Amino acid sequence: MEIDVTLRGAIEALLFVSDEPVSVARVSKILERDQDVVSQMLEMIAEEYRGQERGFQLREVAGGWRLYTHPAHHDAIEQYVLSWDTRRLSQAALEALAVIAYHQPVTRAGINAVRGVNSEAVLSSLIEKGLVKEAGRDRDAGNAILYTTTRTFLEKFGLKSLDELPPLEEFAPDERTEAAIKERFGGPAVAVTEEPDDDSSDLAEID
């Protein structure tokens, strides 16, 4: 198959100047080509970079395609761009973000209820970082502001869409952990049939 190098070049040029993920629809409109053709070409370019072990890669995130450097060269880049901000999110911010990601749209009270602690400061820092935004109000809850995650969130976490979030069920505490917690609060001794002789495994899991 002959490669349409003009189309490939044009797409690469657009990706190169773009400061955000570009959707297939947008590329196809600007270049006046079918979405199918554009889609295929994007896949092909990504595959080419991968196959040739280029220093950059083409990834599909947050509803579009965007060029990134290959993670293998992170250290070199960090040396080169001293000002790179690599500060991580605090544990509190991550927790609040997780609640918003899975429960969106959610009010501040909803976030607080899960975390058991006031999340106001954390919330404004997430908004400031562009990971979370206000999205209307909840009429049923005294017009409280509702929060959702943003496209930047998807991008920073490498997700194509919210559907790609890991299923929350996978992170539910398992039955034994649940039973252990209940028991420690003097609840009805829920069937922990085995002798708790292997405490340590249980305890480690709770941590």
Q: Could you identify the residue written with the tokens 């040029």? A: 13
**Cβ 197 to a copy of itself, closest distance in Å?**
40
Among positions 106-145, residues that touch a copy of itself (CB under 8 A) are 117-122, 124-125, 128-130, 134, 145
**Cβ 133 to a copy of itself, closest distance in Å?**
11
Which tokens is 150 given? 């943003």
**Cβ 23 to another protein, closest distance in Å?**
16
Rounded Cα distance, 20 and 67, in Å: 9
Query: Out of 50, 56, 173, 203, which residue is the one contacting a copy of itself (CB under 8 A)?
Result: 56
Q: Phi and psi dihedrals of 69, rounded to 5?
A: -75, 160
Query: Out of 1, 81, 189, 191, which residue is the one contacting a copy of itself (CB under 8 A)?
Result: 81
Rounded Cα distance, 154 and 23, in Å: 14
Q: Which is nearer to another protein, 1 or 17 (CB)?
A: 17
**Cβ 43 to another protein, closest distance in Å?**
18
**Cβ 36 to a copy of itself, closest distance in Å?**
19
Does 7 bind another protein (CB under 8 A)? Our answer is: no
Rounded Cα distance, 5 and 105, in Å: 44
Partner from a copy of itself, another protein, none binding residue 173, C-beta < 5-8 Å depending on class: another protein
Does 46 bind a copy of itself (CB under 8 A)? Our answer is: no
Return all residues near 107 (Cβ < 8 A) that are at least 6 apart. 138, 141, 144, 145, 146, 147
Q: CA of 130: how far to CAs of 4, 14, 23, 123, 153, in Å?
A: 38, 24, 20, 11, 7
Query: Out of 114, 135, 144, 145, which residue is the one contacting another protein (CB under 8 A)?
Result: 114
Q: For 54-118, give the DSSP string.
A: -SEEEEEETTEEEEEE-GGGHHHHHHH-TT---PPPPHHHHHHHHHHHHH-SEEHHHHHHHHTS-
**Binding-site ranges for a copy of itself (CB under 8 A):** 5-6, 8-19, 22, 26, 30-31, 52-56, 67, 69-70, 72-73, 76-77, 79-81, 83, 85, 92, 117-122, 124-125, 128-130, 134, 145, 152
